[in-house]
Amino acid sequence: MAYYSGDLIEEVISQNDIVEVISEYVTLKKSGRNYMGLCPFHREKTPSFCVSIDKQIFKCFGCSEGGNVITFIMKVENIDFWEAVEMLAERANIDTSRYEVKSYYNKMDASKKDLKETLLKLNRDVGIFYHNNLVELLKEKENPVKEYIIQRKLDAKTINKFGIGYATGKEPLYDHLINLGYTKEEILASGIILENSSGRMYDRFYSRIIFPIFDIRDRIIAFGGRAFSSKVLDKTIPKYVNSPENDIYHKGKTLYLMNFAKREKLDNIIIVEGYMDAIALQKFGFENAVASLGTALTENQARLIKKYTDKVIVGYDQDEAGQAATLRGLDILASHGLNVKVLKLDREDVKDPDEYLHKYGPERLKKCISNAISLVEFKVSILEKNLDLDNFDSKVKFLTGVANILSKIDNNIERDLYIDKISKKYGMSPGPILKEVEKGLKKKNDNDLVLDMQTLNKKMQLMTNVRKRQEQYIVALLLSKKKNIQDEILNNIKSSDIENEDVRKTFDFILSLKDNYDINKIDILSKIHDEAIIKEITDIMYIDISGYEEKLLQDVLKNKKKEKLFIRRDEILKRISEDISPDESEILKLELNQIIIELSKLK
């Protein structure tokens, strides 16, 4: 297992411009010296997500998330620190082997990383085992598995390319893994092997065709198993069984065959529902095809797509379940700024792209793809399909529903064109539709105003804590890179002087770094693993004190001196009010008088 020196972190940060990296996930627009966009970590209508090209940090003023390029990748990809470093190193073509060291992590980090690497290695061995099983079965004259493979038109090239396999039995895989040196605990952690109540081990995917699921780095992170038994028809066994989520597999963050699709120059991505749909499309030359590993598209999958293209064509099954899933997914994709269209197959005798391709061929499917309809058109078609437009009440319901759909379009020209098109198609004046749309727009604007006010309140909350801001200035001065100012802070400010816990922890952390590093020459964020300190120091880094350091230093020192004098004044007043000797009272009054004089000088 590879461990790396801190020098790798510095190179990764220097070779991965934060604006370029974040732009692969978020649409950013230049705003003065910074870039702004919608935060990928919480829902918002107005941009609160700020990226500084000068400081190479990001900060959301709505949800307070912040950090550097490594922190961003950790959060958006849901991976640990060193996985993010490796991912960014790969992005920048950095040779990580030059930075390998024998021992670097603490025991807990090493144990966690060891488990992940073990699971990845185990999955690879399992994938080979399953694939070899299928290859051997296909050499036989005939068997049910071979019949199914022939029926689904899976040739040797396709089987090899996508690593398709077969789970032969309940016990052989466990024995095979034990023989390879894996422990029982490691095997059970993968979720591939299960243990029954009597202690017997069995294969989760027993007697199923196996589809390895890859991450974008071509590593097997999970498996999908499809039953082909006749029992599936009478619903006695589930059609699909999938790996459970674990340290290396998160279903909602993965798209099946995305590792193959991203190798191409993508004009768009075609998202389909099942393994076989994606495989069939890729087999016939549609190498931009992926599958969503279920019908419910997620925010994370939308962000993954956004890294590679802004255009998406959704080609789910044409049954009602598929269409309901498409509706949910379309809204999620559109909310991330993707241009979304829906694939409508021109034949009703097929239910999915796989069946269509084998029946009518790729050229005809290309025409369907080029004629894919927009989000609005798809929603209107669903409304029309479910209502009888010859019925008066149904027609009213239909047009009210259409107005509701159109009121969600932000572009005025696009909205007006749809109103004109729909009114002509259904033979009525555009006026009534427009009035209903305007009612919907008013409601939407009211809701947006509430959301905007919530965001504004969060921003104001960050700015109103004057005491905390004063203490943040102390840390900002410590990070100013001006040695005389840093020395003044260190000589006059102690950790105990800082009241806010997060600021104090940040101050202490920087002091701890001074024992081993020149804090003016390192990327401090790369040394932090505490979530609270990352958020706090990012917030402080956004305080622009350039040109005001000397004045701010004097204000900070004066305020700290005043605070101490006020505290001592209150202590004296309390003591004087108690039953004390005349001599002590006289001494305290003299000290109090001196404090009052000092305070008057500091005003």
First-to-last C-alpha distance (Å) of the chain: 61
Using CA atoms, how far apart are residues 216 and 76, in angstroms rounded to an integer?
A: 14
Per-domain boundaries in the chain: 3-101, 108-249, 264-386, 466-602
Query: CATH classification of 108-249, choosing from 1.10.340.30, 3.20.20.10, 3.90.980.10, 1.10.10.10?
Result: 3.90.980.10
The pLDDT score that the predictor gives to residue 442 is: 65
Using CA atoms, how far apart are residues 354 and 357, in angstroms rounded to an integer?
A: 5
Tokens encoding 124 = 């690879």
pLDDT tens readout for residues 333-359: 888 888 999 998 888 888 889 999 999
Residue ranges of the chain with per-residue pLDDT less than 50: 1, 104-108, 449-453, 456, 460, 462-464
The total of other beta-carbon atoms located within 10 Å of residue 213's CB is 26
The pLDDT score that the predictor gives to residue 406 is: 81
Coil vs helix vs strand at 12: helix
Using CA atoms, how far apart are residues 206 and 237, in angstroms rounded to an integer?
A: 12
The pLDDT score that the predictor gives to residue 320 is: 61
Residue 453 region, left (φ>0) first, then alpha (ψ -120 to 50), else beta? alpha
H-helix segments, 208-338: 258-261, 275-283, 299-306, 320-335
Coil vs helix vs strand at 201: strand
The pLDDT score that the predictor gives to residue 363 is: 95
467 contacts: CB under 8 Å, gap ≥ 6: 499, 500
pTM here is: 0.68
pLDDT tens readout for residues 442-494: 665 555 544 444 554 555 454 446 678 888 888 888 888 888 888 888 888 88
**What burial letters (b/e) apply to 544-564, b meaning 16+ CB within 10 Å?**
ebeeebeebbeebbebbeeee
Using CA atoms, how far apart are residues 346 and 367, in angstroms rounded to an integer?
A: 9
Query: CATH classification of 264-386, choosing from 3.40.1360.10, 3.40.50.1100, 2.60.40.3950, 3.40.50.10490?
Result: 3.40.1360.10
Rg (CA), the chain: 31
Residue 492 parent element (H or E): helix 483-492
Using CA atoms, how far apart are residues 211 and 424, in angstroms rounded to an integer?
A: 48
Using CA atoms, how far apart are residues 330 and 327, in angstroms rounded to an integer?
A: 5
30 contacts: CB under 8 Å, gap ≥ 6: none
Burial class (CB in 10 A: 0-12, 13-18, 19+), 435: exposed
Fold of 3-101: DNA Primase; Chain A (3.90.580)
The pLDDT score that the predictor gives to residue 522 is: 76
Fold of 466-602: DNAb Helicase; Chain A (1.10.860)
The pLDDT score that the predictor gives to residue 462 is: 47
Tokens encoding 149 = 């493979």
Using CA atoms, how far apart are residues 175 and 173, in angstroms rounded to an integer?
A: 5
What are the residues facing 223 on neighbouring strands? 212
